[in-house]
Structure 1
Amino acid sequence: MPFWGEALVGLVIVVGLLGIVFPVLPGGILVGVAIGGWAVVVGGWAWAFFTAAALIIAVAEIVKYYVAGRTLKAAGVPNSTVIVGGIAGIIGFFVVPFVGLILGFILGAMLSELVRGWSLDQAWRGAWAAAKAAGASMIVELAGALTATVIWLAGAVAL
């Protein structure tokens, strides 16, 4: 693959990694698709590197939901709080770009907890637990995507 092709794959991977940190794009999937495209063009042993990277990304995608669910269950936060927070985060993203996603999520989760009949302090603890669960899942997904990126770099250098 010519250098510009590898640079393009690298650029798509960087966009995917940024999509994990700033949840606008399905970052892990984008990283996997970029590495898959590289494997299609390069062929041969590139498929082994893609398979390893895809497995890492798939495991990270599964584990991130497990970690978030376990964190929320330990804090006694129901799934409805996360759903309301997610919807409010999406709305907030369009009202106040980028920052609105996080603010909307926290405020939506807090509102959901208040509607459940909790005090302001309890609602804040529930919203904070939801935010920590979202952060933990982001870290797991980022770790998987970064590991897949290292695998791709090793393949790009080796092939």
Structure 2
Amino acid sequence: MSVAGELIVALVIAIGLVGTVIPMLPGPSLVGLAIVVWAAFAGGWAWAVAGVAVALIVAAAVLKYLVAGSSMKKSGISNRTIMIGGLVGIVGFFVIPVIGLPIGFLAGAFAAEWAPARSITAGRRGAIAAARAAVVAIGIELTASLFAAGTWLTGAIAL
């Protein structure tokens, strides 16, 4: 692959890393896709690099849900709260572009926990647990994406 092509791949990977932290782009998917496209053009051993990178991203996706869900369960938060938070987060994404997703998720989690008990304390507990789980999930995704990017960089230099 040409130097210009590799710079474009590096730029897409960088955008994917930013998208991992700022929930406006599917960050890890973008990182993985950029590496797979690079492998398609580079060929040969590049496919092994892409396989490792994609495996890291897929493993992180599974781990993210297991750890975040476990964190929410440990805090006493129900699946209903997670669903409501997620749905309100999706609506929030379209109402307030970019920042509406986390705001909606937290507001939905707060409302889902507040409604049955009519307790601000319960609502706050739900929002805090949702925020912790979101930070853990972002951390897992970012770590895997950084390792995938490092794998690509090592492969790009070696090939």
Q: TM-score range by the shorter chain?
A: over 0.9
Query: Which residue of the partner structure matches residue 96 of structure 2?
Result: 96
Give the aligned residue type for 1:105: F
Q: Secondary structure at the match of 1:154?
A: helix
- The Cα RMSD (Å) is 1.2
Query: Which residue of the partner structure matches residue 74 of structure 1?
Result: 74
Tell me how far apart the structure 2 counterparts of residues 52 and 142 of structure 1 sit (CA, whole Å).
16
Q: Kindly report which structure 2 residues correspond to 1:56-135, keeping only aligned pairs within 5 A, or say none.
A: 56-135=56-135
Query: Which residue of the partner structure matches residue 28 of structure 1?
Result: 28
Give the aligned residue type for 1:136: V
* Equivalent residues, number: 159
Q: Secondary structure at the match of 1:98?
A: coil
Q: Which runs of 5+ in 1 are unaligned?
A: none
Tell me how far apart the structure 1 counterparts of residues 79 and 132 of structure 2 sit (CA, whole Å).
14
Tell me how far apart the structure 2 counterparts of residues 115 and 22 of structure 1 sit (CA, whole Å).
29
Percent identity for Structure 1 against Structure 2: 47
State whether structure 2 residue 150 is matched by structure 1 residue 150: yes
Tell me how far apart the structure 2 counterparts of residues 116 and 40 of structure 1 sit (CA, whole Å).
53
Tell me how far apart the structure 2 counterparts of residues 45 and 107 of structure 1 sit (CA, whole Å).
47
Tell me how far apart the structure 2 counterparts of residues 18 and 118 of structure 1 sit (CA, whole Å).
38
Q: Which runs of 5+ in 2 are unaligned?
A: none
Tell me how far apart the structure 2 counterparts of residues 99 and 51 of structure 1 sit (CA, whole Å).
33
Q: Secondary structure at the match of 2:37?
A: helix
State whether structure 2 residue 4 is matched by structure 1 residue 4: yes
State whether structure 2 residue 43 is matched by structure 1 residue 43: yes
